[in-house]
């Protein structure tokens, strides 16, 4: 490759991180870091594209994507700065839980990953240096895959359900103190869909259509709760889901009630956070055979 072509390629790659593709045919929704949910030592800059952790500590650097990501959608990051006095490095992963419903602990691993609704992987400290670009995505089989610009790859099985909504989770941990969001991309047949890493394009709330669905689900659940409040239940197990009344109740909530199907259990957990029978706060639920 000639020097001229090399220079042209580098220019195109640099422009790829800032060019707006929101209105391009088949483009993905813009993605950046969540502006409201972040660790106490995290600050945002560059319109929400860069997160920086205060170097006074190695932890309290949790951040999330500002919107759900699709299965096989590759979230792209670049390590901007490292602080050598700490050990460990960046952690990346996904969660089914709305960022707004997550109580932020100091660490992603193991403080969040003890729950099957969270999954995260450590980026090796030896390669996590300024300039390293990382792509990570959730595959259709539920495994998380990481690809680094140095050629290294890693695949990790998770407990996540690929049919449920997921948000990207980034823990700016240890030596890693600053990370830039480069956008995302997803391969579709013969072309690649891309997104803008621009905060100005992002709404950090659900789309209107999704909000309407949530309101409808809340109304249905309120009706079911009214019915259940006025009916004696002799056992904690139900034969049919008390939310949709169309599927078998095959999930046991953390309070002990086996009263919802898998999809409804996930919606109840993310939307309300309490059991529809006893109103106790939920931890996580177990699919039953």
Any idea where the domains of the chain sit in the sequence?
Answer: 3-201, 208-287
Mean pLDDT computed over 98-112: 91
CB 89 within 8 A of CB 176: yes
Higher-pLDDT residue of 72, 198: 72
CB 63 within 8 A of CB 200: no
Mean pLDDT computed over 166-170: 96
Going through the chain in order, the beta strands assigned E by DSSP cover 33-38, 42-45, 50-53, 62-69, 74-82, 91-95, 118-122, 133-138, 144-148, 153-156, 166-171, 176-188, 191-194, 251-252, 258-260, 286-287
Mean pLDDT computed over 94-98: 92
User: pLDDT at position 166, please?
Assistant: 93
User: pLDDT at position 9, please?
Assistant: 43
* Whether residue 69 has pLDDT greater than 80: yes
Per the omega criterion (within 30 degrees of 0), is the bond before 149 cis? no
Specify the CATH superfamily of domain 208-287. Zinc/RING finger domain, C3HC4 (zinc finger) (3.30.40.10)
CB 249 within 8 A of CB 257: no
pLDDT tens-digit map of 12-67: 344 444 455 555 556 788 889 999 999 999 999 988 899 999 999 999 999 999 99
* Whether residue 99 has pLDDT greater than 80: yes
Percent residues over pLDDT 90 in the chain: 43
The most confident of 76-80, 186-190, 194-198, by mean pLDDT: 76-80
Query: Which class is domain 3-201?
Result: mainly beta
Mean pLDDT computed over 104-125: 92
């Amino acid at each position: 490759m000639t020097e001229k072509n090399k220079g042209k390629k580098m220019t195109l790659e640099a422009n790829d991180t800032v060019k707006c593709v929101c209105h391009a045919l088949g483009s993905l929704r813009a993605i950046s870091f969540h502006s409201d949910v972040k660790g106490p030592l995290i600050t945002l800059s560059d319109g929400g594209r860069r997160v920086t952790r205060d170097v006074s500590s190695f932890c309290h650097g949790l951040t999330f994507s500002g919107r759900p990501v699709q299965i096989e959608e590759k979230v792209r990051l670049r390590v901007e700065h490292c602080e050598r006095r700490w050990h460990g490095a960046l952690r990346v992963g996904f969660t089914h839980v709305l960022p707004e419903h997550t109580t932020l602990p100091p660490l992603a691993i193991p403080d969040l990953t003890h729950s099957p609704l969270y999954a995260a992987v450590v980026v090796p400290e030896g390669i996590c240096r300024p300039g390293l670009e990382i792509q990570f995505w959730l595959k259709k089989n539920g495994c998380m895959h990481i690809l680094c610009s140095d050629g290294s790859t890693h695949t990790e099985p998770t407990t996540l359900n690929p049919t449920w909504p997921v948000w990207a989770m980034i823990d700016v941990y240890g030596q890693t103190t600053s990370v830039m969001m480069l956008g995302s991309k997803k391969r579709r047949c013969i072309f690649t869909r891309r997104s803008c890493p621009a905060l100005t394009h992002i709404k950090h709330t659900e789309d209107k259509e999704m909000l309407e669905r949530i309101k409808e689900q809340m109304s249905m659940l309120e009706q079911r709760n009214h019915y259940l409040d006025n009916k004696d239940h002799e056992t904690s197990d139900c034969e049919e889901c008390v939310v949709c009344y169309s599927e078998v109740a095959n999930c046991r909530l953390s309070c002990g009630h086996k009263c919802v199907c898998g999809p409804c259990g996930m919606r109840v957990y993310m939307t309300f956070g309490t059991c529809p029978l006893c109103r106790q706060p939920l931890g996580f639920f177990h699919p039953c055979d």
